Structure formats: structure tokens, C-alpha cells
Amino acid sequence: MSSGYFRHSVKLALVLAAFALVGTSLLALTYDATKGIIAASEKRAKLALIAQILPPELYDNDIISDAVSLPPQAELGTSEATLTYRALKDGKPSGAVLEAVAPDGYAGKIKMLIAIRANGEISGVRVVSHKETPGLGDYIDIAKSNWIKIFDGTSLEKYPSNEWKVKKDGGRFDSVAGATITPRAMVKAVHKALIYFSANREKIFSLQAKEQAK
Amino acid sequence: MSTVNYKEIVWNGLWKNNAGIVALLGLCPLLAVSTSVVNGVGLGIATIMVMTCSNAIVSLVRQWVPGEIRIPVYILIIAVLVTVIDLAMNAYVQALYLVLGIFVPLIVVNCNVLGRAEAFASKNPVFPAMVDGFMVGLGLTLILAVLGGMREILGKGTLLSGIDLAFGASAKAWVITVIPDYHGFLLAILPPGAFIGLGLLIAGKNWLDQRQRAKPQPLHVPEASAMTA
């Protein structure tokens, strides 16, 4: 009787193992077959996002592969290593795309990509992810409104430090009435990222030599 | 179960045993995603695909699956299937993946799929199982579309917003502004709106069913009540 139970259990275990084996192999095969195509299309999507904020004629290098990992930076609001993409034209630095985080959004962190030209002027900003209130604070998202384009062309030279605020606080930047916390956080984060870039420009572009030597 | 009654499968899936408002299975993705018509139908289509395939596979292997381990096997099948569909869509139909992609992984946690595998596909031949999966998915899609529509009109004053993600930028013209100059009603977009809306839909269905039952059918009444009891 007990050997009958044992045999039955072994049979069940074997059937389950067989299904697991077939399932896992199917997964492995599919993963292998689609890996290359997915990586290529992810790269295309990333390029398309970068192309929105950094004009393609500004660089001629493989910007996606030419990225360095920056350790967490208080100035960028980042708490983990982020990628910085460097744009080169004829071998000379022409700009960079930084990942930055505004930690004080209305509903937590706002992650963004900030493209800065070599002369310190902002080429474009895009919000990558946020949890701001739908229909209220989410106008920072390009899919909802063009608000984010107010950063285009701004720089530390153009606006002095005390003007890097929303208009309500006596600064330069528009905001929607009733939803000022979100843009306040954004303006602060972009300002800090610009300061960081101007202080670390040399470092960001010299890291690249190391990468290429590899 | 030798003869399969397709009419009953369709009726069960779409109305009598509707996954969204009668069985109340898979509420987590349903409530989270039904903020607009486009989102709702997107999740619906992804569910239809997965349920049709998973029911077919479960039905195909049903004589090799011992009763004691059927649930782990079904979960394994569904998880593998969803992942394979997710990867294949991402690789071969990228445009569709960008729209439906975020919904596909949500389906793994949709107990509808497991529920139909257990309740129907494991006891029926392949073709009826596929029809059942498709119809239950379609029933869920209808509810998602209606709930998404209700929340979108109330919350944003539009219909079909986001359709340009599915059909390209030219489709932006299809967005219908139902209430012009509307400032939005946040409650409808946030999760409580989903619960309230779903509650209204369930009440509406019960009301329709009750009215149907109350219609004078003197000869059949005792039989019908015996059936439902």
C-alpha cells in the first residue's frame, strides 16, 4: 500500500517535472529567438526618445553605446547609478543627456532625461516616469501638454539663479494654477542638473576616454 | 459533456457568467486599467488572446495531467504562454506591443484565465475550449470598454483618448470631446471611480435580469426558478 503511494507520488513528480522542463525550454527558445530583435528595437526606442530632446545633427557617434555610468549624485537627485549619454560631433563633445530625478514631486520621484548642449544650454527635457496626479500635475508629461518645452534653450547664463523658480515664487517659469508643487520640483531639479553639468563637464567627457580604451 | 452547446458557451461568456460583473474574477487589472476606452479594450484584446491559447493548450494536454497537480501545471502553462506572447509581440509586432505590451504581464495575475482552464478547458475538447476562452475574454472586453468609457467621460470629458497610440498620430482626430471645456472629475479616474463604476454596472445587470424574470411567463416560471435555485 505504502509502495503504491510512493509510486503514485513519484509519477506525479515526474509529470510535473516534465511539464516544467517543456515549459522552461519553450521559454529559453523564445527568449533566444527574440533577444536580438528586442534589443535592437529597444535601442531604436531610446534613440527616438533622445532624438526628441537632442537634434540628431548635433552628434555623429553611436550615442547609445557611448554611455557612462555615473554613481549616485546628490545634485542629480539620483540614489542609484545612472547612465549618461555623450554626444560627439567630429570627435568633439557637443552635448550630453543626463538622467536626473526630482525627489520632491507631489507624489514622489519624477524621473527625467535632460539634454544639455556643450555650451551649457538645455536642448530638451522629457519626463520618463512620474506618479503625479492624473489630470492635474501630469502636464509635465509631453503626452499631456507642451509645458516641458519651456526649458528648451534655457541656461545658467540666461537666467540668474534667483529666476530658476516658477512664476508664482517670483521666477521665470509658468505653472498651472492649483498644481505648482510638481513644476516647482521640476524647475529645481533641472536647475541643479545644469549646475552639476557645468561643474563636471570635463569629468563627464574625460570618462569617455577610459571607456574607449577598454 | 459529449455534445457541446455553443450557444450556451457564448451566452455564459458574454452575459450570464460574465467574468467582469458576475464572476468578479481578475478585478485587479480590470480596476487598474479601465481609465479609458482605449486602455480597457487594449487589456481586453490581450486577455482574449491569452485565454483562447491557454484554453486550447490546457484542453490538449488534459488527459496527461493528473488531478492532484493540475493547478500547478495550469499555472505553469499560463505563465509560459504569457511570457512567450509577451516576448514574441515585443519582437515581431512592436507597434502593437507598445500599445498592449504593458497589459500582457498583467494577465498572469488574472485568475479568470486559471478559472476557465479549470472549469471548462480541462473537461472539454480543444475547439469548444477555444470558443469558451474567446467568449469569456470578449465578455470581459465589453465590460472594460463600457467601464472605461464611463470613467473617461466623467473623468476627462472625452472618449477614445490615446487612440493615436494604436493607430498613429492621424488618429488623434478620432478623439471625441463629449463635454467641451471640461475640467475633469478626478474621482472617476482614480481607483474609487473604478469600484463605483463597477458597482453600477453590476447593479445594472442585475436590474436587467430581474426585469426579464418578472415578465409574465406563467407556464415556465416554476421551472425557471427551480433552475436558478
> Does residue B203 have a pLDDT over 90?
yes
> Does residue B131 have a pLDDT over 60?
yes
Q: Check CB contact under 8 Å for B190 and A134.
A: yes
Size of interface A-B (CB pairs under 8 A): 59
> Does residue B130 have a pLDDT over 90?
yes
Instruction: Please tell me which of the candidates A15, A34, A135 has its beta carbon nearest to residue B64.
Output: A15
Most confident of A2-11, A12-21, A51-60: A12-21
- Give yes or no for a contact between A121 and A190, defined as CB atoms under 8 angstroms apart: no
A23 touches chain B (CB under 8 A): yes
The pLDDT value recorded for residue B199 is: 92
Q: List pLDDT tens digits, range A97-123.
A: 988 999 998 888 898 999 999 888 999
Q: List pLDDT tens digits, range A130-154.
A: 888 777 788 888 877 889 999 999 9
Is B220 part of a structural domain of the chain?
no
Q: How far is B134 from chain A (nearest CA, A)?
A: 23
More confident residue, A122 or A202: A122
Chain B contacts in chain A segment 91-150 (CB below 8 A): 133-136
The pLDDT value recorded for residue A210 is: 45
Chain A contacts in chain B segment 189-228 (CB below 8 A): 189-190
pLDDT band, residue B154 (cuts 50/70/90): confident
Find the range with the poorest average confidence among A23-37, B31-45, B92-106: B92-106
- Find which of A9, A11, A16, A106 to mutate to test the B interface (most B CBs within 10 Å of its CB): A16
pLDDT band, residue B221 (cuts 50/70/90): very low
Is B225 part of a structural domain of the chain?
no
Q: Which residue of A has its CA nearest to B68?
A: A12
Is B219 part of a structural domain of the chain?
no
- Find which of B39, B84, B86 to mutate to test the A interface (most A CBs within 10 Å of its CB): B84
Nearest alpha-carbon partner for A173 in A197, A204, A140, A142: A140
Report, as an integer, the average pLDDT of B196-216.
Answer: 89
Pairwise CA distance, residues B135 & B20, whole Å: 12
Is B222 part of a structural domain of the chain?
no
The pLDDT value recorded for residue B223 is: 46
The pLDDT value recorded for residue A73 is: 82
Q: How far is A198 from chain B (nearest CA, A)?
A: 36
Q: Which residues in chain B are closer than 8 Å to A131, comparing Cβ atoms? A: none
The pLDDT value recorded for residue A213 is: 34
Split into its structural domains, chain B has a count of: 1
A16 touches chain B (CB under 8 A): yes
H or E element at residue B151: helix B126-156
What percent of chain B shows pLDDT beyond 70? 89
> Does residue B128 have a pLDDT over 70?
yes
> Does residue B165 have a pLDDT over 80?
no
> Does residue B229 have a pLDDT over 50?
no
Q: Check CB contact under 8 Å for B91 and A33.
A: yes
Q: Which three cell numbers stand for residue A166?
A: 516658477
Q: List pLDDT tens digits, range B10-19.
A: 888 888 888 8
Is B31 part of a structural domain of the chain?
yes
Q: Which residue of A has its CA nearest to B172?
A: A143
Is B101 part of a structural domain of the chain?
yes
More confident residue, B222 or B112: B112
Q: List pLDDT tens digits, range A68-79.
A: 888 888 888 888
Helix ranges restricted to H, A129-180: none
**Alpha carbon distances (Å) from A101 to A74, A138, A141, B167:** 10, 16, 14, 32
Pairwise CA distance, residues B49 & B180, whole Å: 36
> Does residue A46 have a pLDDT over 50?
yes
Q: Check CB contact under 8 Å for A23 and B76.
A: yes
Within 10 angstroms of residue A85's Cβ, the number of other Cβ atoms is 24
Round the average pLDDT of chain A to a whole number and report it: 85
Interface confidence, given as ipTM, is: 0.72
Is B201 part of a structural domain of the chain?
yes
**Alpha carbon distances (Å) from B159 to B91, B149, B166:** 30, 7, 14
- Find which of A27, A142, A144 to mutate to test the B interface (most B CBs within 10 Å of its CB): A27
pLDDT band, residue B54 (cuts 50/70/90): very high
